[in-house]
C-alpha cells in the first residue's frame, strides 16, 4: 500500500494538492512550469487538475480571465471547451446505451436521411462515416445554420463507412439528433438531466448564450502581428450555434475534474470501467495525430476519444480548439493517472504541459 507522505496546501486559495510518491516531484515541477509560463506571458490564464487512483490530487487556477483586467481565473471560471465537447457527448451516448435506449450499432439514416443505410452511430463517433471533412469547417465559420449544414450532405459524396478516418465536426454533431430523439428533449436539456446533474457538474453548459451570460468566464486570446497575446474582439460562437456536440460545451476545471474521474472508472454506478473502455478502445488508425507526440508508436481514434501508443503506455486523450481557447484532457488507463488543462489562449500550451507532466511522472516512477 502506498504511503501518504503529506498534505501540501499552496498559498493560493485556489489549490488543493495531495502529494503521493511518485507524484510529488512531477506535481511540483508542473506547478513551477505553469507559474513561469504565466509570468513570462506565454500563457494568459489556465486551470488544471490531476487525477490519480480515482482521486483529485492536484487542482489549481492561474493567471487572469482577460489580459489587461484584474479578475483572476479560479476553480469556477468557465472556459469554452472546443472539441473536448466530443468525449462529453460520447459519454452521454455511453450512458444511454447502458440504459438500453440506444446502441452505437444503430443506423443514423433515421436521423439524417442523406446517409448510407449502413452508416452507424459508431461510424459517427469514430469519424469513419466516409464523408470528407474538406470545406465543412468553413461552412460553420461562415454562419451556416444547422439545418443548412445537414441538408448539405445530400450534395456530398459518401464513401463506404468504416474504412477511412476523417475528422468531421458536422458529421460528429449528428450525436445531437440521436440524443434528442432518444431523450425526447433538446440536446442541452438532455445533457443537463442525464449527465451533468448526476455527475454534479453544476457549472457546465451548452451553447453560446449560457457562456455569454456567465459573469465568471475566461476570455479568448490570440496572437497579434508582434506575436504577443491580445484579447479577441469576441469569443467563438459559430461552433456553439451549429455543432454543439462537437465543440459547443463550456465548463470549469472543477467540473472537468469530475468528468475525468468518471472516465477513469471513478463512478461505476453511472458507467463501469468496461462500458467506458468500449469508447476508449481504438477503432481506426488516425494518422493526423502521430506527429504530435515524440516517440509515438501509433495513433488511433475510438468513440469520441483519441488514443496514442507511446513507449511508456497508452494515452487516451482529446484536445479542444476554438478561437482563443486550447484545452487538453487525457489519462493513462493502466496507470490510473490523468490530467485536464483549460487555457484561454490559442497556443499549444495545454498540450505541451500535459506531455511534460506525463514525461516527468514516467521519469519519477
| Average pLDDT score over residue span 174-180 | 97
| Res. 9 pLDDT band, cuts 50 70 90 | very low
CB burial of 300-323 (b: ≥16 within 10 Å; e: otherwise) equals: bbbbbbbbbebeeebbbbbbbbbb
Q: Is 267 strand, coil or helix?
A: coil
**Cell numbers at 318, concatenated:** 482529446
**pTM for the full model?**
0.93
Alpha-carbon radius of gyration of the chain: 20
Q: Tens of pLDDT along 114-170?
A: 999 999 999 999 999 999 999 999 999 999 999 999 999 999 999 999 999 999 999
Q: Tens of pLDDT along 46-82?
A: 999 999 999 999 999 999 999 999 999 999 999 999 9
Contact 66, 85 (CB under 8 A): no
| Res. 6 pLDDT band, cuts 50 70 90 | very low
Lowest pLDDT segment from 3-12, 137-146, 216-225, 310-319: 3-12
Please choose, from the candidates 34, 15, 21, 14, the residue with its C-alpha nearest in 3D space to the C-alpha of residue 341: 34
Q: Hey, how many other C-beta atoms are within 10 angstroms of the C-beta on 288?
A: 14
Asked if residue 5 has pLDDT above 90, the reply is: no
Q: Enumerate domains of the chain plus CATH numbers.
A: 6-90+185-364 (3.40.710.10)
Helix (H) or strand (E) holding 238: helix 238-242
d(CA 330, CA 84): 10
Residue 227 confidence (pLDDT)? 86
Contact 324, 232 (CB under 8 A): yes
Residue 287 confidence (pLDDT)? 92
d(CA 311, CA 28): 24
Amino acid at each position: 500500500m502506498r504511503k501518504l507522505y503529506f498534505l501540501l496546501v499552496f498559498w493560493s486559495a485556489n489549490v488543493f494538492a495531495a502529494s503521493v510518491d511518485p507524484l510529488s516531484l512531477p506535481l511540483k515541477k508542473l506547478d513551477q512550469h505553469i507559474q513561469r509560463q504565466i509570468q513570462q506571458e506565454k500563457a494568459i490564464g489556465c486551470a488544471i487538475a490531476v487525477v490519480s487512483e480515482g482521486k483529485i490530487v492536484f487542482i489549481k487556477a492561474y493567471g487572469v480571465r482577460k489580459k489587461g483586467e484584474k479578475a483572476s481565473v479560479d476553480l469556477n471560471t468557465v472556459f469554452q471547451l472546443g472539441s473536448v465537447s466530443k468525449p462529453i457527448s460520447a459519454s452521454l451516448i455511453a450512458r444511454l446505451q447502458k440504459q438500453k435506449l440506444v446502441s452505437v450499432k444503430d443506423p443514423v439514416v433515421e436521423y439524417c436521411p442523406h446517409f448510407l443505410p449502413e452508416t452507424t452511430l459508431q461510424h459517427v463517433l469514430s469519424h469513419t462515416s466516409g464523408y470528407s471533412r474538406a470545406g465543412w469547417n468553413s461552412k460553420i465559420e461562415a454562419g451556416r445554420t444547422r439545418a443548412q449544414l445537414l441538408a448539405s450532405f445530400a450534395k456530398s459524396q459518401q464513401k463506404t463507412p468504416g474504412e477511412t478516418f476523417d475528422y468531421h465536426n458536422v458529421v460528429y454533431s449528428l450525436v445531437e439528433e440521436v440524443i434528442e430523439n432518444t431523450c425526447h428533449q433538446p440536446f442541452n436539456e438532455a445533457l443537463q438531466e442525464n449527465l451533468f446533474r448526476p455527475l454534479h457538474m453544476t457549472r457546465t453548459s451548452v451553447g453560446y448564450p449560457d457562456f455569454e451570460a456567465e459573469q465568471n468566464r475566461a476570455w479568448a486570446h490570440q496572437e497579434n502581428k508582434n506575436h504577443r497575446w491580445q484579447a479577441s474582439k469576441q469569443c467563438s460562437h459559430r461552433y456553439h450555434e451549429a455543432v454543439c456536440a462537437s465543440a459547443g460545451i463550456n465548463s470549469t476545471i472543477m467540473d472537468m475534474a469530475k468528468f475525468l474521474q468518471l472516465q477513469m472508472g471513478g463512478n461505476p454506478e453511472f458507467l463501469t470501467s468496461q462500458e467506458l473502455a468500449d469508447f476508449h478502445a481504438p477503432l481506426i488508425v488516425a494518422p493526423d495525430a502521430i506527429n504530435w507526440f515524440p516517440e509515438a508508436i501509433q495513433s488511433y481514434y475510438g468513440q469520441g476519444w483519441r488514443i496514442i501508443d507511446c513507449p511508456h503506455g497508452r494515452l487516451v486523450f482529446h484536445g479542444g480548439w476554438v478561437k482563443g481557447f486550447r484545452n487538453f484532457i487525457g489519462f493513462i488507463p493502466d496507470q490510473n493517472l490523468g490530467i485536464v488543462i483549460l487555457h484561454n489562449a490559442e497556443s499549444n500550451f495545454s498540450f505541451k504541459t500535459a506531455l511534460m507532466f506525463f514525461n516527468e511522472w514516467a521519469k519519477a516512477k
